[in-house]
Amino acid sequence: MSHGHHATHRHDTDIAPGDEELDGEGAGQGMLVYFVGLGLAILLTCVSFFISGTTLVWTPSIPVALGVLAIAHMGVQLVVFLHITSGPDNTNNILALAFGVLIVFLVIGGSLFIMDHMNHNMMPMDQVMQMQH
């Protein structure tokens, strides 16, 4: 090891794009990661709009394709821009994300359950009309 050489690389943790320690020449590389992320986000958005508006794709598969593209888009956002990775230093971030996803699924699932059973629990229309007279 020479006098001016420092061996301070963090290979033992999972580092998200953009979280690296940047020196003068590494800043350009960091910006490149953000631009690649931006390009992927724009590409996924354009492909989603194309699939939703074209007749080239089998119609029943469009919702599945849009769901896959949405998940890919969320992955790009989480890793490139929010720096959420699976490293030990990001455990709290992953737990918070999992809790948020759980809450979203509970709200959506509960709303769908309520809407599905709302028709069954409503008073028949003829009885509503009789009450108004």
Do 2 and 55 fall within a single domain?
Answer: yes
From first to last of its 133 residues, what are the pLDDT tens digits of the chain? 444 444 444 455 666 665 666 565 666 777 888 999 999 999 999 999 999 998 888 889 999 999 999 989 988 998 888 888 777 777 888 888 889 899 999 999 999 998 888 877 777 777 777 777 6
Model pLDDT, residue 12:
56
Other C-beta atoms lying within 10 Å of the C-beta of residue 90? 19
Same domain, 14 and 78: yes
My answer on whether 65 and 31 are in the same domain is yes
Do 3 and 51 fall within a single domain? Answer: yes
Distances (CA, A) of 98 to 93, 95, 125: 9, 5, 43
Number of folded domains in the chain? Answer: 2
Is the CB of residue 38 less than 8 Å from the CB of residue 18? no
Distance CA 125, CA 102 (A): 37
Same domain, 17 and 67: yes
Q: Range of 79's domain?
A: 1-85
Task: Please report, for residues 48, 125, 131, 132, the alpha-carbon distance to residue 78 in angstroms, rounded to integers and kept in the order given.
Answer: 19, 48, 54, 54
